[in-house]
Amino acid sequence: MSLHSIVPTPGAPSLRLLITGANGQVGWNLQRTLGPLGDVTALTREQLDLADLDSVASAIRDLAPDILVNAAAYTAVDKAESEPELALAINATAPSRMAQELAKSRGLLVHYSTDYVFDGDRPLDTPYNEDDPTRPLNVYGQTKLDGERGIIESGCPYIILRSTWVYDTRGKNFLRTVLRLARERDELRMVSDQYGAPTWARSIAEATTIILARCLEQKSGSDHWPTGLFHLTAAGRTSWAEFAEAIMAEYDDCCSWPADTGEFSAPLKAKRVVHITSDQYQTPARRPRNSVLSNAKVQQTFGIKMPDWREQLRLAMQDAIR
């Protein structure tokens, strides 16, 4: 299906879309994928602070979005342990307020959540489904779960998308951290007993756009938005240590391209990754051992088939040097 096939016809009111967290990894990419659906307004944290609930409500009333894509979040997992009130305000209270406002106008809320709503205590060959019991191990995961519940209880139409290990070639994330450390050190020490599916932010944005296009098709036939909770991650599974090794290998391949690539051009100093256990790398927040989510529901509902994490990484690295 072509995204342009659902652009409003001439003379029809243009669909209004609002993105929060415009400078974040997913928010930045959403600004580049959602354009075919309608008029996009993207607000940064400086323009809309989710900790200010009155500003959140006012923005929704003033802009009257048909679709609000909430890509803003408190994502500092370890810092959340010492700032639980702020994490709760941004990850739970603000999305709940968004949902309450949209329940009045019947606008659709798209919200991103996380694998950290689960405790990871299951066999590695058993991905989590959407209806599996939740049991967060840390403050961040609990606040994201509280946000999900607030949205669902509001009565507004919603699409909640849980993803895992999100990264991009810009912003603060694991990929950028690995490359920075690999330029400074002879070797990297990375945890090898936590597993997930590294997911490129652009893949999330592109999949979100296709999901919304199909939601619009369904709404045109029934006048009701589809609603539900879905997992949306890269296919496959790896550990943090193996992900770091793959990043370094893809980077070395990219450096062989005959181009001036700026940040993605200097050779790496580190030549290997030392695999360590979670016990050897203590952090304020506990992490789930198994963060792998099943994409079966989103594929069945919207026809979304996410690429393998290695394919996404290769595309992300190649895109960075173009």
User: Is the CB of residue 192 less than 8 Å from the CB of residue 276?
Assistant: yes
Looking up tokens 């994330």, which residue turns up?
Answer: 173
DSSP secondary structure of 41-85: EEE-TTT--TT-HHHHHHHHHHH--SEEEE------TTGGGT-HH
Q: Supply the angle between the helices 94-105 and 139-154 in degrees, to the nearest 10.
A: 10
Burial class (CB in 10 A: 0-12, 13-18, 19+), 271: exposed
Distance from first CA to last CA of the chain, Å, rounded?
A: 27
* Gap between the Cα atoms of 56 and 160, Å rounded: 19
* Gap between the Cα atoms of 259 and 60, Å rounded: 44
DSSP label at 158? Answer: E
φ, ψ of residue 208 to 5 degrees: the values are -60, -40
Instruction: Region of 303 please: left (phi>0), alpha (psi -120 to 50) or beta.
Output: left
Quick one: which of 185, 187, 298 has its CA closest to 241?
Answer: 187
Q: Is the dihedral of CA 287, 292, 296, 298 positive or negative?
A: positive
Is 281 designated active site?
Answer: no
* Gap between the Cα atoms of 109 and 151, Å rounded: 8
User: Is the CB of residue 302 less than 8 Å from the CB of residue 214?
Assistant: yes
Please tell me which residue in 74, 140, 167, 251 is annotated as part of the active site: 140
Question: Cβ contacts of residue 247 below 8 Å, gap of 6+?
Answer: 175, 178, 179, 313, 317
Enzyme catalytic residues: 140
